[in-house]
Amino acid sequence: MIDDTLTPLTHCLSHQILPPLYFQVLDAYEDEYGGIIIESERLPWNANVFASALRASLSQWKVETPVHERFLKLDKKTADLVGNEKLKASASVRHLVLPCTRQARVQLIPDIIHCYSRGGRTIIFTETKESASELAGSLPGSRALHGDIVQAQREVILAGFRSGRFLVLVATNVAARGLDIQDVQLIIQCEPPRDVEAYIHRSGRTGRAGNTGVAILLYEPRYSYSISRLERESGVKFEHISPPQPADVAESAGSDAAKAISNISDSVIPVFQSQAEQLLSSSGLSAVDLLAKALAKAAGYTDIKQRSLLSSIENYVTLLLQAGKTIDSPAFAFSILRRVLPNENIGGVKGLSLTADGVGAVFDVPADDVNAFVEVMLNVPFRNYPVCVLIVP
């Protein structure tokens, strides 16, 4: 990987021998914290050195700082074949953004994978090594890849990912560049990266070699300004999507489970027939209802929960407060709610923000409190204006 052998090249021009010119390959890469790690520093103190830096691997300011200060002379000559050309995200990738709080990630990410991976490989990027290990431990069948994993183990993990022994890799920036992995259908970034190059390189792990892919960026709702920054700096126009609702995911998973059941050999019927008949007679449910439960179990569902459209938190529902006049501030919206609702209901309100038209506000409430808000605040008069709360579809 590292060529520590210095090879002198001589060139004869007009019968004059030029001083030896030394070439060396430096293994330089970026760690999770944005620093540069350079594996080799053994150069003769008086060598004439030719150094080449690839823009695809190192951003320009990093090339010009640690590398040239450590290895090149002050009067070095530079040939720039890239210039100020802006890095661009792949046009074959669909770029999506989705609001998601940190606490909702573990519940949301499996549903995203089910809806968008199309059965292919998924790479999930986190900002820290600890987050990668923690998330991989929460996603059955996934593996973590980061700087604390020794090189030999990294190779084993990557070989397993390439061969399809597992389809979900949770990684830091060590997987953002230089890896050639086929059939990566989905990239999930758990939060907006610190710089635009990181986003472009991460999302570029899919949609390669003429294929298409999907890159989904999760963000905390209160940090939505970071999405605008990435759009401005990368030239990407993000598509804003709502989190997959568990009912929708369950319907899709149920379809897969039904196909799997239909492929089971009829030889199993005599073995399980008596248990099926006993269950049918004792449950009080119809055969269709029992089969629906069996499909749910086969798909991994024992319960269907609602999910917030604002934060992706399970067991929360997003509501819309509408007023016949302009709502100037979140405080004014809260004053409307406090006028007609008890304090215990107000305490459950989360993430209230104003709508773009200025005459409404959206917020989350626990699923158990939805009826209290909708029924109590149905066309309630407030300062001679009708006010109502609706469930956001």
Q: pLDDT tens digit string along 154-168?
A: 999 999 999 999 999
Half-sphere exposure of residue 284, counting CA atoms within 13 Å on the CB side? 0
CATH code, residues 316-391? 3.30.70.2280
Tens of pLDDT along 169-201? Answer: 999 988 777 677 888 999 999 999 988 888 998
Mean pLDDT of the 207-236 span:
89
Residues in the chain: 393
Mean pLDDT of the 309-332 span:
89
Q: Where are the domains of the chain?
A: 3-71, 93-245, 259-298, 316-391
DSSP labels, 217-233 = EEE-GGGTHHHHHHHHH
The one-letter amino acid at 299:
A
Its CATH architecture, for the domain 93-245, is: 3-Layer(aba) Sandwich (3.40)
Asked if 2 and 40 touch (Cβ cutoff 8 Å), the reply is yes
Q: Give the chain's mean pLDDT.
A: 79
What's residue 258's pLDDT?
85
Q: Is the pLDDT of residue 4 over 50?
A: no
Q: Is the pLDDT of residue 89 over 80?
A: no
pLDDT band with cut points at 50, 70 and 90 for residue 61: very low
Q: Is the dihedral of CA 98, 99, 103, 104 positive or negative?
A: negative
What's residue 14's pLDDT?
46
- Euclidean distance between CA atoms 215 and 203, whole angstroms: 6
Q: Is the pLDDT of residue 142 over 90?
A: yes
Q: Tokens 């019927």 appear where? A: 269
Residues 6+ apart with CB under 8 A from 7: 22, 23
Tens of pLDDT along 236-275? Answer: 899 999 998 877 787 777 888 888 888 899 999 999 999 9
pLDDT band with cut points at 50, 70 and 90 for residue 323: confident
**What is the value of pTM for the model shown?**
0.72
Asked if 317 and 389 touch (Cβ cutoff 8 Å), the reply is no
